[in-house]
Structure 1
């Protein structure tokens, strides 16, 4: 007779799995050989004899896979999104990513990083554990980025002031266990600027120390403020009716720095807008590089003065003016409490600076919050409206939905305050984008016109149902695709498309704002102060 006893226990534990050792013990009873069965009568055991020693089989511990180190040069990306045109560093590659040579001529780095930009790398890893290390530098501090592998967030890191734009330091940002094979790594810029030289997968040697966890900030407590009551407020219905067709001062104050994408703003531009017949101007402003990255998040006084100057030029022309927060990828890519507090602080300062301005100044909460969820955007709309209302109870406020703010996003968004009587809903339209943005198809069939008309009809229906006027403060069509300049839009199709927008907007009482960026989406030449054929179509409904 044989009794087999199985015993299982855990020998050691790793970060990813337990190694289990199972021992099979054979116990010998009454003249039975281990592994056999007895065919005779049992005999009593000799208790004076030393017991046999049963040696268990040798334990073989499998080795964990050891990774193979991999070094990625930042400039060796295979895909990218860069918000500026051209290579600022004029080195190594000829696309829009900004690359410069190292001062010691040992290689290249990626610089001039801005919120919302990203770089992707196709990599192959052997299975194993790695310490993920980046080599970064900044003369200013305040940069922030995230690393994704196969669309999964691996780490987020900040770049403090390192002593100079080419004074680099290594950041061990994550302990990462890789599976064998091909992977996609994305470096996403949450806040710039900073420079990056390398991304290094070092074989784990046990030296990794997790970065210190910075306690999450608590929500910003709104301060006591002076309430400014406008004696002659303008209703949103009156404003939208009066605004008619307007124009954007695009790629100007919304650029990383004024003049980077288009000529710096001049008062003559605003005068020309007025003289041409436009009735409102939208002034997009990106506040990221104008604002400190640590509490109390002070907006640079010189920059705030400059924004006020441009706003005053437009108000002096008796134009309606829409002022917003525009390319704010730092919060769109990282909706942390820190960034929400910074966002709130910027709006507190905007409201304080402009609280005594004409009721023709309209605040727009946030342009195209692509990257935020619908819930995030709803939260922002409520919060900013509260910040504004604490000072200006009757200031007109424009809000939108998520993403690139198509009409469907507005229709799905929560109304930030259903009792507020000074709200304006907003959407953008460049439909269909393969025509209006990429110039890869024609436009003008009956079906094309009907599809655009249906969008405006739905917007008008929503406006009536919710008793909230609507604007479309970006529409337009490119002369050419600036990312593929050989793709040129047919000029007759362009003018017909613009005319259709103007016709439908006017029919439904929707104020519309042509996107003019002084580039591929322009009608006004800022160098010569002259107009394209689009202008007469745009201003026709505004004229007596």
Structure 2
């Protein structure tokens, strides 16, 4: 499976109205400021060299008390998936902002939360959602879809929400519950039969962190389809102080130290997972726009070349906003969804060329 270079349709199908649970899909897609997705967007991405599109989807706003996904919402997701398939693209489909704010859930349709207290309702939610997604896409024409069980599962509101501490008991509990949620999602997908019996499925560790995946608490789910059909899902905005942080400790220059940190991550992902037969997909990566174009270009070139040379697929996070003056850390717009062209062709070129060079190196090494 050659996923090539990937891109995220961010801040779109994943948009939601805080933590309310409305069941009307009509305005959700554009509620975070992005235009409604069009076939022309998908065609423009494919024509520019993108081979894989990750579709982050939040389902909780569109689920009723009977755990039924709104039919209009599912139809809209399927329409966009169909456009991608018709352009010959791979698709990654997930459940995105479905991690509830705490474990005081009254109803399971509110989402999941990885604690012992929230486990029963979380398992029920995961099974209900993945049963419906698996059924909706269990046709031969959808064999280029990869299912991603969870997105950044974590203890929302906890002091270690974004950084798992192996010494923290709640973090260890969360890691264990996440393993169980991954297993439940996989079991649900596989039991639906058809092409889902051996479809590629991505699973994350705590908050989709590489560090959490390296921790001994993370376990891959048992898969009747075999090892090669389970991939590790990680998110890597690395180094954080270059790629995302705009506050204390941030920096804008691409340096030898930056390269070394990236090398350490890529090498660890290869030795811990790829060399053991588990594909690795970086479901989100990118560097926010700090007005440091030359350094960003150098970062993109090194990141894509080095990840691809180790057999790692990387999917660019794109929230549609090239310059976020209110929150510079969220300037992750790369593809202009109005013109269906990249905001900066230089960034597009370096991403494509570096990924291709890295892929050639990987192919030659094997």
TM-score by length of 1: 0.52
* Contact in 2 for aligned 1:279/1:542 (Cα 8 Å): no
> 1:163-189: CA deviations, max 9, x gaps?
xxxxxxxxxxxxxxxxxxxxxxxxxxx
State the shift of 1:402 in Å. 0.5
* Contact in 2 for aligned 1:443/1:497 (Cα 8 Å): no
- Give the alignment partner of residue 539 of structure 1, picking from 339, 352, 359: 352
Question: Does 2:58 align with 1:286?
Answer: yes
* Cα distance in 2 between the residues matched to 1:462 and 1:512: 17
Q: Where does 1:32-431 land on structure 2 (aligned, <5 Å)?
A: 239=1, 242-256=2-16, 257-261=28-32, 262-292=34-64, 294=65, 296-330=66-100, 331-332=112-113, 335-356=118-139, 357-371=141-155, 373-391=174-192, 392-403=196-207, 405-412=208-215, 413-417=218-222, 420-421=226-227, 422-431=229-238
State the shift of 1:542 in Å. 4.3
Structure (1 or 2) with the greater helix fraction: 2
Residues 464 and 478 from structure 1, CA distance in 2 versus in 1: closer, same or farther, beyond 3 angstroms?
A: closer
State the shift of 1:501 in Å. 1.2
Query: What SS class does the counterpart of residue 30 from structure 2 fall into?
Result: coil
* Contact in 2 for aligned 1:277/1:542 (Cα 8 Å): no
* Contact in 2 for aligned 1:278/1:542 (Cα 8 Å): no
* Contact in 1 for aligned 2:94/2:147 (Cα 8 Å): yes
State the shift of 1:376 in Å. 1.2
Residues 449 and 399 from structure 1, CA distance in 2 versus in 1: closer, same or farther, beyond 3 angstroms?
A: same
> 1:425-451: CA deviations, max 9, x gaps?
121101222221123312311111111
TM-score by length of 2: 0.76
Larger RCO: 1 or 2 (CA < 8 Å, sep 6+): 2
State the shift of 1:369 in Å. 0.7
Alignment match, 1:163: none
Give the superposed CA RMSD.
Answer: 1.8
Alignment match, 1:462: 272
Residues 345 and 243 from structure 1, CA distance in 2 versus in 1: closer, same or farther, beyond 3 angstroms?
A: same
Query: What SS class does the counterpart of residue 197 from structure 2 fall into?
Result: coil
Query: What SS class does the counterpart of residue 387 from structure 1 fall into?
Result: helix
Residues 465 and 542 from structure 1, CA distance in 2 versus in 1: closer, same or farther, beyond 3 angstroms?
A: closer
State the shift of 1:529 in Å. 2.0
* Cα distance in 2 between the residues matched to 1:289 and 1:542: 39
* Contact in 2 for aligned 1:359/1:396 (Cα 8 Å): no
* Cα distance in 2 between the residues matched to 1:464 and 1:365: 19
Mark the structure with the bigger radius of gyration: 1
Query: What SS class does the counterpart of residue 91 from structure 2 fall into?
Result: strand
State the shift of 1:418 in Å. 5.9
State the shift of 1:410 in Å. 2.1
Alignment match, 1:185: none
Alignment match, 2:109: none
> 1:331-389: CA deviations, max 9, x gaps?
23772523431221011100011111432111000110121710111001111100011
* Cα distance in 1 between the residues matched to 2:340 and 2:45: 10
Structure (1 or 2) with the greater strand fraction: 1
- Give the alignment partner of residue 340 of structure 2, picking from 506, 523, 529: 529
> 1:389-428: CA deviations, max 9, x gaps?
112211110011002x121222332010166241111211
Query: What SS class does the counterpart of residue 321 from structure 1 fall into?
Result: strand
* Cα distance in 1 between the residues matched to 2:287 and 2:274: 28
* Contact in 1 for aligned 2:114/2:178 (Cα 8 Å): no
* Contact in 2 for aligned 1:244/1:510 (Cα 8 Å): no
* Contact in 1 for aligned 2:243/2:286 (Cα 8 Å): yes
Residues 299 and 418 from structure 1, CA distance in 2 versus in 1: closer, same or farther, beyond 3 angstroms?
A: closer
* Cα distance in 1 between the residues matched to 2:299 and 2:154: 25
* Cα distance in 1 between the residues matched to 2:311 and 2:114: 35
Query: What SS class does the counterpart of residue 424 from structure 1 fall into?
Result: strand
- Give the alignment partner of residue 493 of structure 1, picking from 286, 295, 305: 295
Question: Greater shift after overlay, 412-421 or 379-388?
Answer: 412-421
Alignment match, 1:93: none
Residues 537 and 350 from structure 1, CA distance in 2 versus in 1: closer, same or farther, beyond 3 angstroms?
A: same
* Contact in 1 for aligned 2:119/2:177 (Cα 8 Å): no
Query: What SS class does the counterpart of residue 61 from structure 2 fall into?
Result: helix
- Give the alignment partner of residue 253 of structure 2, picking from 413, 434, 443: 443
Query: What SS class does the counterpart of residue 332 from structure 1 fall into?
Result: coil
